[in-house]
Every structure is written in structure tokens, then in C-alpha cells.
Amino acid sequence: MLDALHYGETKIDLEVARIVRRSDGTKPMPEGGTFTFTDPDGFAAALADTSVSLTITGVGDFKSRLTRLVLKSVKLYRCFEDLPRIAYLSFPPEPVFLSFPLDSTLPLFAGIAVRNGSMVLNGGGEPLHQCFHGACQWGLIALSNERLTSCYKALTGQTITVSRESRIISAPRAKAIKFQHFFRQACDLAEDGRRLIERPEVARALEHELLHAIVNCLIADEAEDNRSTRHHHAAVMVRFEEVLSRRIDQRLNMPALCAEVGVAERTLRMCCAEFLGVSPTRYILLRRLNKARAALRRADPSTASVAQVARNHHFLELGRFAVTYRTTFGESPSVTLQRNART
């Protein structure tokens, strides 16, 4: 049986909540479920509160599992992915977002190696790079700014202002473990698409405990973060991504690229190494290869050809494209194209 939550003086048995149905027959307040993906674009689209550009950087077939739970003022996502990748997440200015690793990997979030137990707070829409070097588990929470500030005020008597710049939160181990406990418990309840939290008091209790755990992590933050330098580098990376969004299909040499971004080549190389773990030219190549692979996966093999898809994505030397593609993804482009014929 799952642990029980305590909300005020009321003990709520979460196992009972698995089988209780609302007597009025209306849709329960929380919504959730678990979904699997073999397409990176489909997985990225399922993170509905953010715009995600996902660039696979390792060999193999992409597989992911996403658990989603919507409470009154909090949305939770638990993500499992099996390949290394770089993600560029663009957030709306509202609500507040928290992102964090859930395993022993040491990913780069906003250019900083983030250990399990730490998290990144984003409260104003600043984009964020994530870089995982292998299979990964991570979480994302979107929560109402108003609810967070009111909860913080109630617990501390003080106000909190969440700035636009991403902020690393490193709480003491005990508080980080408690936060992850409630996060995992909430996601476990949403697994398999079952309606698990249909009693309003269960949803309130879970949201209450989760918010308190988040605020306690914010209060006890021990992170030492050179924010001015990191914010400058983050701004460079945002401009870099903006240039790529306009010019990814064009041939850009490094001097022209750096001129558009507005930095020296040394600065751009340093920022890409810090945030992405690869050089600017390698990242651009990976982005273009991922776009070509997505096109091959969507194409009809009875009417499309590898050469046609390669040309459409400005790979003019077919032999070199095929070798680079196979080295990056572990299969030839023709095998990717023929997948649709076998399904």
C-alpha cells in the first residue's frame, strides 16, 4: 500500500483513492496519465507548457516515457529518455518552472552540472539548455506564481520575487529527498492513465505537501552561483539559437555566425562547450541531421528517396551524408526511410 498523506488532521489513504469515483459523475479536478514515444518530436510536443527543440546526440532508437499530472495550480511531468540529447526549452513568462534530474547522471542545466537533489528555477521565460550524456530521468513542474508566492509568504512571513534569469537551487539533502518523495508519489499516482486522485481532498493534500516541500528547498538554498557571468553566457546562447532558427538550412561559416550572434569566435565556442558540451559547428550539424532523420521517418518510402531528403536539408554530398548519419544514429538513412514500409 502506498504511503498515506496527512492534510491538516485528516489522514488520506492513497490506496483508497485509487478506486473511489466521484459520485456526481463529473470529470475529476486532476488529470494525468503515462505516455510512451518513439519519436523525439512527439515527446517534445507532449511537454505542452514549453516549446522544446530536441537534438539527439547518440546512437540508437529513441524511446521515452512521460508521466503527466495536473493539479489545481501545479502541473508535473516525469520524463524517462534512453538516448543522450541536447534540449532547448523555451518557457512562457507565466507560470514558474522547476526542472531537475531524478537519477545519478550529472546533466548540464543552463550550463551548470546539476546533481540529483538540485533544481533549476525559471520564473520569467528565459530559455534553458539541457544536456544529458546518456539515458536520463528528469522532472518538470509548472506552478502558479501567485500560489508559490502566497505559500512562501505563509511559511516564512516574507515575500519572494522570482527573477527571469534561471536560478540553481541546491537544498540540504533531507529537504531535497522530501521534495522528490512527494514528486515521485504524485507521479506514481498518475501512472498508467488511471484516474487515481479523484477525491478533492487527496489532490489538495498532495499539492499542499508538494508546495511546502518546494518552498522549504527555496528557503534552504545553498547554491553558490555566479549569476552575472552565467546570465551573460545564457544571453549569448539565446542569440545563437535565434540565429539557428533563421539560418539552420543555410551554410554559415564561423565568422558569419559569430557576426550574427554578436560575439567573438572564442566566446561562442566557450559558451557552447559550457551549455551544450559540443562545438558550435558540431551542434549545427547535429541539428541538421536530426531534421533530416525526422523527415526520413515521416516520408513514404514508395515515393521518397534518401537523396531527395538529403538535398532538401542541404546535404549535397550524399556519400558523406550517409557516413555521418550512420555514425551519429547507428543506422543508414535508407534503413530509417524503410521503417514506414515495415510498419
Reference 180, options 242, 241, 116; nearest CA is 116
Q: If you write DSSP's letter for every residue of 48-86 in order, what string do you get?
A: TTSEEEEEE-SSS---EEEEEEE-SSEEEEEEEE-S-EE
Give the pLDDT score at 225. Answer: 61
The C-alpha angle 146, 228, 214, rounded to 5 degrees, equals: 30
Q: Which are the contacts of 50, defined by CB distance < 8 A and separation ≥ 6?
A: 89, 90, 91, 92, 97, 140
Q: Which helix (H) or strand (E) holds 251?
A: none
CB 191 within 8 A of CB 31: no
* Grid cell for residue 331: 543506422
Q: For 157-212, how does the pLDDT look when each residue is reduced to its tens digit (9 = 90+)?
A: 888 877 777 888 888 889 999 999 999 988 888 875 455 556 677 778 888 899 99
Half-sphere exposure (Cβ direction) of 122: Cα atoms closer than 13 Å? 26
Query: Residue 174: how many CB atoms within 10 A of its CB?
Result: 11
Which among 26, 141, 35, 36 has a CA at the least distance from the CA of 95? 141
Residues of the chain with CATH 2.60.120.10: 5-219
As its CATH architecture, domain 5-219 has: Sandwich (2.60)
The CATH 1.10.10.60 portion of the chain extends over: 227-342
Closest by Cα among 170, 169, 217, 209 to 189: 209
With beta carbons less than 8 A apart as the criterion, state whether 203 and 72 touch.
yes
pLDDT at position 199: 66
For residue range 203-250, list pLDDT tens digits in order: 788 888 999 999 999 888 866 666 667 788 989 999 999 999 988 888
Question: What are the pLDDT tens digits along the chain (343 aa)?
Answer: 233 343 333 333 333 233 233 333 344 445 778 899 999 999 999 987 889 999 999 999 999 999 999 888 899 999 999 999 999 999 888 889 999 999 888 899 988 888 888 999 887 778 899 999 999 999 999 998 888 889 988 988 888 877 777 888 888 889 999 999 999 988 888 875 455 556 677 778 888 899 999 999 988 886 666 666 778 898 999 999 999 998 888 878 899 999 999 999 999 999 999 999 999 999 999 999 999 999 999 999 989 999 999 999 989 899 999 999 999 999 999 999 998 666 5
Dihedral through CA 41, CA 46, CA 52, CA 57, nearest 10? -50
Query: With contact defined as beta carbons under 8 Å apart, do 46 and 68 qualify?
Result: yes
CATH superfamily of 227-342: Homeodomain-like (1.10.10.60)
Contact 84, 57 (CB under 8 A): yes
